[in-house]
């Protein structure tokens, strides 16, 4: 069974530029998560989707971050404009339902110069 797929794996941009990350969850998983992981720290939840609905986006900096999950499958996380402090690994995870185990993708490492 294919795992969570993310692209790109690496992205280097200049500050103030926009950037987007894509995630394809495990087939059949209704719940999708975006996490941010800083170096030496554990992942922190940014947003959780149940199907197409964002049910927990309390930790998403809405002035510059946005996300969507059209048709309840793939998801895109966008940052516009990027700041130096956004350099981190962005992880996508999915689970059958919110009560189930979360499985993570390989992440996208973002470097903002």
Name the residues that contact other proteins, by CB under 8 A: 4, 31, 33, 40-45, 48, 50, 55-56, 91, 93, 95, 98-99, 101-107, 109
Neighbours of 11 (CB within 10 A): 16
Name the token pair of 109: 């490492």
* Cβ-based nearer residue to other proteins, 57 or 81: 57
Closer Cβ to other proteins, 3 or 18, answer by number: 3
Count of helix runs (H) and strand runs (E) in the chain: 0, 11
Least CB distance to other proteins at residue 16 (A): 27
Q: Write the DSSP assignment of 9-52 as a string of letters.
A: SEEEE-TT--EEEEEEPPTT--EEEEEEE-TTS--EEEEEEETT
Identity of the residue, 69 or 107, whose beta carbon is nearer to other proteins in the bound complex? 107
Minimum distance, C-beta of residue 9 to other proteins, in the bound complex (Å): 9
How far apart (Å, rounded) are the C-alpha atoms in residues 47 and 21? 14
CB closer to other proteins, 42 vs 85: 42
Q: How far is the CB of 81 from other proteins (least distance, A)?
A: 26
């Amino acid at each position: 069974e294919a795992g969570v797929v993310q692209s790109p794996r690496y992205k280097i941009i200049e500050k103030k530029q926009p950037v987007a990350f894509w995630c394809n969850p495990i087939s059949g998983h209704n719940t999708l998560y975006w996490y941010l992981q800083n170096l030496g720290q554990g992942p922190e939840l940014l947003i959780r989707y149940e199907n197409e609905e964002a049910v927990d986006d309390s930790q998403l900096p809405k002035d510059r971050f946005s996300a969507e999950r059209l048709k309840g499958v793939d998801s895109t996380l966008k940052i516009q404009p990027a700041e130096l402090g956004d350099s981190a690994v962005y992880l996508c995870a999915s689970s059958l339902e919110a009560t189930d185990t979360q499985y993570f993708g390989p992440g996208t490492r973002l470097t903002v110069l």
